[in-house]
Amino acid sequence: MKIAINSTGTNEDSSVDQRFERFKYFCIYDTDSKDYTAVENAAHFASCGAGVIDLLAGLRTDQDLLIRYYGITLDEVKKIYLAAAFSSFMNLDNAMDIGLLPKIHKGKYIR
C-alpha cells in the first residue's frame, strides 16, 4: 500500500506539514517495499489566496498528481482515505458531481 503524507521537506525526517492546502511536499511511502519518495506540491507556490475554492481545486489537483505519478488508473485505486472535519459531512455524490472527488465506487472512500 502507498501512503501520501503532506510534509514540510523531502526527507524521511521531515515533519508533517500542519497546513492542508499549502503544504510543500507529498511524501509517499510504500509499506510493501519501504520506498520513500517526495513530490513537490505545485499549489504551494500558487499566487492566489488559500480560500475554500483554492483548497478544493488544490485537493483534486493533488489527487490527479498522485494518480499520474504512480502511472495507475482510478480502477486500480483500492481506497481513498478522506480526512479533515469537512469530510465527515461531505456528500460523496455531490463531491463527485462537481469534480471535487474522482468518480469511483463510493465503497472505496474511507472516512
- Residue 28: domain span: 1-72
Is residue 19 located within the same domain as residue 68? yes
Is residue 45 located within the same domain as residue 66? yes
What is the chain's mean pLDDT, rounded?
Answer: 76
Is residue 42 located within the same domain as residue 12? yes
- Structure-model confidence comparison of residues 22 and 110, the more confident one: 110
State the CATH number of the domain containing residue 11: 3.30.420.130
3-state secondary structure the chain: CEEEEEECCCCCCCCECCCCCCCCEEEEEECCCCCEEEEECHHHHCCCCCCHHHHHHHHHHHHHHHHHHHCCCHHHCCCEECCCHHHHHCCHHHHHHCCCCCCCCHHHEEC
* Rounded Cα gap, residues 101 and 109, in angstroms: 10
| pLDDT tier for residue 57 given thresholds of 50, 70 and 90 | low
Is residue 61 located within the same domain as residue 15? yes
* Rounded Cα gap, residues 19 and 22, in angstroms: 6
- Condensed to tens digits (0 to 9), the pLDDT of residues 66-92 reads 777 778 888 888 888 887 776 777 788
The SS3 assignment for 86 reads: helix
Count of structural domains within the chain: 2
What is the Cα Rg of the chain in Å?
14
- Structure-model confidence comparison of residues 99 and 52, the more confident one: 99
What mean pLDDT is predicted for residues 59-70? Answer: 73
Q: Shortest CA distance to 63 belongs to which of 19, 99, 9?
A: 99
